[in-house]
Amino acid sequence: MRADPLICKLEQFTKKFSDSEKRLIEDAISDIVDYAPRQDIISQGDRPEHVHLLLEGWAGRYKLLPEGERQIMAYLIPGDLCDVHVALLRQMDHSIGALSACKVAFIPDKAITKMTDDHGRLSKALWWSTLVDEAISREWLVTVARRQADKRVSHLFCEMLLRSKAVGLSTDNSFELPLTQEELGDTMGLSGVHMNRTLQKLRSDGLITSQGKRLVINDLARLMEFADFDPMYLHQISAGAKSG
Amino acid sequence: MRADPLICKLEQFTKKFSDSEKRLIEDAISDIVDYAPRQDIISQGDRPEHVHLLLEGWAGRYKLLPEGERQIMAYLIPGDLCDVHVALLRQMDHSIGALSACKVAFIPDKAITKMTDDHGRLSKALWWSTLVDEAISREWLVTVARRQADKRVSHLFCEMLLRSKAVGLSTDNSFELPLTQEELGDTMGLSGVHMNRTLQKLRSDGLITSQGKRLVINDLARLMEFADFDPMYLHQISAGAKSG
DNA sequence: CGCAAGATTGAAGTACGTCAATTCCAGTGG
DNA sequence: CCACTGGAATTGACGTACTTCAATCTTGCG
């Protein structure tokens, strides 16, 4: 089903959903829209009328600074909801843009409200996912503030591998990374040039391999060790264990 | 009342609470505990049984890194709740420590659950406050990743002034800042030495003045301009965004 | 007064950024 | 099939905003 990654993700928090619950989510989708890379899915100041569920591709939360630099504050991958709870805030304080080609499902606000009013379990699961988003944001803060470039990038790769696994996008130790080095830099607070040199170092140290847009982590345990990566903040049930 | 700062804060989001609603919150407090500076209020790995409401002093969310550096990821000031929704996550992925002497109210988990089950408005207000926390965390990420030391610190000071105002801790353009320069550095990803030089620069530029532990912002408009500070992310009704 | 924590200062090192040139590569059209 | 093209990756030279270390001065406070 189209909502599989979302369900997959939420099932990390709660017990397996029943078929009828799955259908409930699935049927809430009112529309599906494609976005090209660099296109905004939601813009700062918007007050979206429906919730956006990412089905395919990568998107990013970002802000622009006065000198024109872009800071990406979060990655969204399939199964991630862009704005479950904007209704509580008045408007978006940042934008969400497609990083690769994206397929996005629209779920009307009312459908979400109805779903969560009737299903405490689902409501909790959605809130759980935003609490995890918050935990991720805090960890990125630590990463950017305190870790050196090579560990910064390694830490990010560990996270994205685990998150990809959690939604069924990775079974081995590799995943699609549809980003330019510039975009990676905009995420970790590094220049494109330095990101390039950092990736070269990680490759020559044998920690990663890249095949086109696919990133291969040669030895996850070693990379996690190197990056001081503790998966606890992801609050995955199997945290620490390797799924697959 | 003891819960005044919290109520003050929540009233930014929702309409004024009735006296009975205020009493409801007030009466939920089961206990009040004092903490000395540097003492942990909640430690990583904990699964707290009650919600902590900060009444006096400043506390901080932090993580420790392998080399022993501490990264402070958020400040908590009076009116802030430390862990409203930990129940949804299995355990704390970080610690919360007192930065100054703190007075903390304990509210039993069950009291919160009951309160929010019965009062949708209050429940929404509490969730609103965690969404704002998330927005703040994202803004700090931008600050640390992209802004230079002087703007970084200025941005932080703008935020803390507005947050202090929002809970009635500041009426003019000054507020209590009970932190060492080292702690400010641990927050903004700077060494204590560089934090010192940065503060000197801000003082000599006439942007701030410090009188002991009290920070005076000489010209808020100028400091906001300098720091590229847009208060929208705080989602305060009064501080910018008009309700839509 | 006397002590310890914090603030301040200077000197030297480094991890990053910036700029600019060059190479690589996937698409596209001929 | 190849030549063309524009974006992305790579490289080198150089500048700088920060860190680190270590000494000294200041302040709060019993």
Cβ–Cβ gap A228/B88 under 8 Å: no
| 3-class DSSP state of A44 | coil
- Owner of token pair 């330019």: A180
Q: A interface mutation test: which of B43, B44, B88, B143 has the most A CBs within 10 A?
A: B88
Count Cβ atoms below 10 Å from residue A199 Cβ, excluding itself.
Answer: 19
User: Helix H segments across B31-148?
Assistant: 109-118, 120-146
What is the CA A1 to C1' D4 distance in angstroms? 43
pLDDT digits (tens, 9 = 90+) for A183-224: 999 999 999 999 999 999 999 999 999 988 999 999 999 999
Structure tokens at A116: 């969560």
Q: Is the CB of A200 under 7 A from strand D?
A: yes
CA-based torsion, B7, B8, B9, B15: positive or negative: positive
Chain B CB contacts of A138 under 8 Å are: 61, 63, 73-74, 93-94, 137
Calculate the alpha carbon distances from A55 to A12, A17, A29, A113, A197 in Å.
18, 19, 11, 21, 32
Choose between B87 and B80: higher pLDDT. B80
Chain A CB contacts of B66 under 8 Å are: 228
Assess contact for A62 and A72: CB atoms under 8 A: yes
Q: Is the CB of A181 under 7 A from strand D?
A: yes
pLDDT in the model for residue A238? 67
pLDDT digits (tens, 9 = 90+) for B62-84: 999 999 999 999 999 999 999 88
Choose between A86 and A235: higher pLDDT. A235
User: Closest by alpha carbon to A138, among B91, B152, B180, B139?
Assistant: B139
pLDDT in the model for residue B86? 86
User: Closest by alpha carbon to A207, among A195, A225, A191, A223?
Assistant: A223
pLDDT in the model for residue B239? 52
- Record the pTM: 0.96
